[in-house]
């Protein structure tokens, strides 16, 4: 795997501190389990003023919140908000609430993702494409203008950190089959459903690389980066076939980071410097060296443009003007 699991470092540094987090408001999507839960717990522990736990299942979210309060002995910080990334209306409602009710947003950590073994559609697309790509960027686009305003108003450096994976780098052959129209061709009935997770992660990275130069930190005051947390012991593969789950379980035992250790990569992304804008981060450092040449050469740059074009077309149909507002922030 491109995550380099046999040698992936463990015992990663914790980059969130009282100095860079105290008084801030952080949104963690997918915060009821795994990396998101551990990231939210760290943010509460270091003194964040408010941590919004974006979850699909409110009961599970409340259970996670209780566990955080018990572990940190801090109440009144974590809040559980509903967001279902399989529904554009849910994403829009969440964004509207965040913009209306939160005085400031220091970071949006987009951690939610799905991997499926059976074909399921949501909003007219394969579920992993809707959740991992389209809704993820819809939320980013909707909230971006507020982050830009908050940067100026509060003198802060807000972040949007998209949690991705370098696993897609291993699927160049499959990528070549869809690269001329990635969003549409991902929906084809001939697509192997298990391939959609790595391909969706690849699209996230390509889209961030393309859009970041158009929303420079020097103008917007907002950092947009993408994080590969490595191989972590979570329940992401819960929907996979038994044989695949067994394979992942072996890798978890041999090489996997704990969810707590992996969450530190998310938090690094949420406080990394301006130099992380548009970059892939891994193991709490900039990981440009991991990018294969076929993603960065001339053909790769065209692929970046096509991926973003497909995403932007969908976003503008869902919420007209949202992309242009982000680009003009």
97, with CB counted inside 10 A (0-12, 13-18, 19+), is middle
Please check whether residue 42 is in contact with residue 72, taking contact to mean a CB–CB distance below 8 angstroms: no
188, with CB counted inside 10 A (0-12, 13-18, 19+), is exposed
* Two structure tokens written together for 64: 């996670």
- For residue 26, the cross-strand partners are 51, 107
d(CA 196, CA 115): 7
Sign of CA dihedral 278, 112, 262, 241: negative
d(CA 34, CA 31): 8
Of the candidates 21, 135, 164, 263, the residue annotated as catalytic is 164
280-282 and 159-163 strand pairing: unpaired
d(CA 146, CA 102): 10
Please check whether residue 257 is in contact with residue 229, taking contact to mean a CB–CB distance below 8 angstroms: yes
**Residue where the block lists tokens 């990569």:** 265
The secondary structure of 181-206 as a DSSP string is SHHHHHT-TTS-GGGHHHHHHHHHHH
Helix H, strand E, coil C: the string for 261-276 is HHHHHHHHHHHCCHHH
d(CA 84, CA 136): 11
Of the candidates 50, 186, 197, 209, the residue annotated as catalytic is 197
Of the candidates 201, 210, 263, 276, the residue annotated as catalytic is 201
Coil vs helix vs strand at 176: helix
Phi/psi region, residue 158 (left: phi>0; alpha: psi -120 to 50; beta: rest), is beta
Coil vs helix vs strand at 73: coil
Active-site residue 201, yes or no? yes
Task: Enumerate the active-site residues.
Answer: 164, 197, 201
């Amino acid at each position: 795997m491109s995550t380099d699991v046999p040698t992936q470092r463990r015992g990663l540094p914790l980059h969130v501190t009282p100095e860079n987090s105290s008084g801030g408001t952080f949104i963690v999507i997918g915060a009821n389990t795994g990396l998101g839960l551990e990231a939210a717990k760290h943010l509460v522990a270091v003194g964040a003023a408010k941590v919004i736990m974006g979850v699909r299942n409110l009961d599970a979210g409340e259970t996670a919140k209780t566990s955080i309060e018990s572990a940190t002995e801090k109440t009144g910080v974590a809040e559980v908000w509903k967001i279902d990334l399989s529904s554009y209306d849910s994403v829009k409602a969440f964004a509207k609430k965040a913009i209306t009710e939160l005085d400031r947003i220091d970071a949006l950590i987009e951690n939610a993702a799905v991997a499926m073994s059976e074909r399921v559609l949501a909003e007219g697309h394969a579920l992993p494409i809707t959740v991992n790509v389209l809704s993820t960027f819809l939320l980013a686009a909707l909230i971006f203008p507020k982050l830009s305003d908050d940067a100026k108003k509060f003198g802060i450096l807000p972040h949007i950190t998209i949690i991705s994976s370098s696993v897609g780098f291993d699927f160049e052959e499959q990528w070549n089959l869809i690269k001329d129209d990635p969003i549409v061709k991902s929906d084809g009935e001939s697509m192997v459903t298990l391939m959609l997770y790595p391909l969706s992660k690849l699209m996230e990275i390509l889209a961030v690389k393309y859009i970041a130069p158009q929303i420079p930190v020097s103008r917007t005051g907002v950092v947009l980066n993408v994080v590969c947390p490595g191989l972590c012991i979570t329940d992401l593969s819960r929907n996979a076939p038994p044989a695949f789950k067994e394979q992942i379980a072996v890798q978890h035992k041999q090489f996997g980071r704990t969810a707590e250790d992996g969450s530190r990569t998310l938090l690094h992304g949420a406080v990394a410097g301006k130099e992380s804008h548009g970059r892939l981060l891994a193991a709490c450092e900039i990981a440009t060296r991991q990018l294969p040449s076929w993603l960065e050469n001339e053909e790769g740059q065209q692929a970046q443009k096509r991926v973003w074009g497909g995403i932007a077309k969908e976003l503008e149909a869902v919420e007209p003007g949202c992309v242009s507002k982000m680009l003009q922030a």
